[in-house]
Structure 1
C-alpha cells in the first residue's frame, strides 16, 4: 500500500534517525534514511559522527547494497557529489536499483544541488520531493548557515 500517510510514517522515522545525530555530524548535515520494500522497513541509517558515513550509505551497507525495488525515504536530497571523491549517495541508490526515492529537503549546497535528483531521474527512478520539508529543515539549519557562496 502506498499513500501519503504511509510515506509520512516512513519519513517521520527518517526524521527521528536524523535527530538522533543532530550536532554530531559537523561539518555535514544530520540526515536520516529509511529503506522500505513492500511496506516493511528493511534498513535504516543516519549520518555518522563527523559526517561519515552518509545516511544512505549506512542503510545500504546494512543490506549489503541490495535494495532492488525498494523505496528510500531520506530527509535530504541524496548527494550528487562527495568532497572526498567517494561514490555519491545518489549513485549508490542507482546501483542498488531502488525504484523510488522520497526526500524532504533539496540539497542547499551551491555545488551539489539537484545533481543527485538528476542522476536518479536519469536512471529511471521515481523521485518525490518536499514531504515533511519544514520538519526536516531543522536537521540542516546549521549546515546551511556555513555553506560557501558559489561565485
Structure 2
C-alpha cells in the first residue's frame, strides 16, 4: 500500500504544481481517487481562478458510484466550508463514500481548516502529513497571505 500511496500522492502534487499560480486567491490543490485494487479512478486540480476545487472536479469527472474502498489523495486538507455556500470538499468526499483520505498539508485557512475533523466524525480513516515536505512549497504564499 505504501508504494501506491506514494505514487498517488506524487500524482496529486504534480496536478497541483501544474495549476500553481493559476488559481487566484485560492491554493492549487491536486486530488487523485484510487480504487482499493490500485486503479486510478479520477483526478483533478483546482481550476483556473480557484474553482472548481480539486476534490469537486475529481468526483464530478468520475461517472457512477465510487467503488467500495476508494481512497482520495489530496495535497491540502479538504475544506470544511466554502465561501460560495456550495458543499465543502470534506462533505463531498463523505457523501461520495470514500473509505480513506490521505492528506499532504493541513489547511490553515479559517474556512478550510476542520475538514479533517468532519471526515473523522463521519467514521472515515484520514492520514495527514503524507509527503508533506514535497507539497509544502505549493502553500507557502497562500499561508503567508492569511497573516
Normalised by the length of structure 1, the TM-score is 0.92
Distance in 1 of aligned mates of 2:123 and 2:72: 14
Shift in CA distance, 65/26, structure 1 to aligned 2, threshold 3 Å = farther
1:8 corresponds in structure 2 to 6
Quick check: 1:25 aligned with 2:3?
Answer: no
CA contact (8 A) 2:79 2:111 kept: no
Aligned length: 145
What is the CA-CA distance between 1:143 and the residue it aligns to? 0.8
1:53 corresponds in structure 2 to 52
The 3-state SS of whatever aligns with 1:80 is: coil
CA offset digits 1:52-108 (Å, max 9, x no partner): 000000000001473242100000000000011110000000000000000100011
2:109 corresponds in structure 1 to 109
The 3-state SS of whatever aligns with 1:108 is: coil
Distance in 2 of aligned mates of 1:28 and 1:57: 14
Shift in CA distance, 40/52, structure 1 to aligned 2, threshold 3 Å = same
The 3-state SS of whatever aligns with 1:16 is: helix
1:36 corresponds in structure 2 to 34
CA contact (8 A) 2:98 2:124 kept: yes
Distance in 1 of aligned mates of 2:112 and 2:7: 28
CA contact (8 A) 1:44 1:58 kept: yes
The runs of at least 4 consecutive aligned structure 1 residues that moved more than 2 Å come to: 64-69
CA contact (8 A) 1:11 1:73 kept: yes
Distance in 2 of aligned mates of 1:84 and 1:65: 26
Shift in CA distance, 65/93, structure 1 to aligned 2, threshold 3 Å = farther
What is the CA-CA distance between 1:11 and the residue it aligns to? 0.3
CA RMSD of aligned residues (A): 1.2
The 3-state SS of whatever aligns with 1:24 is: coil
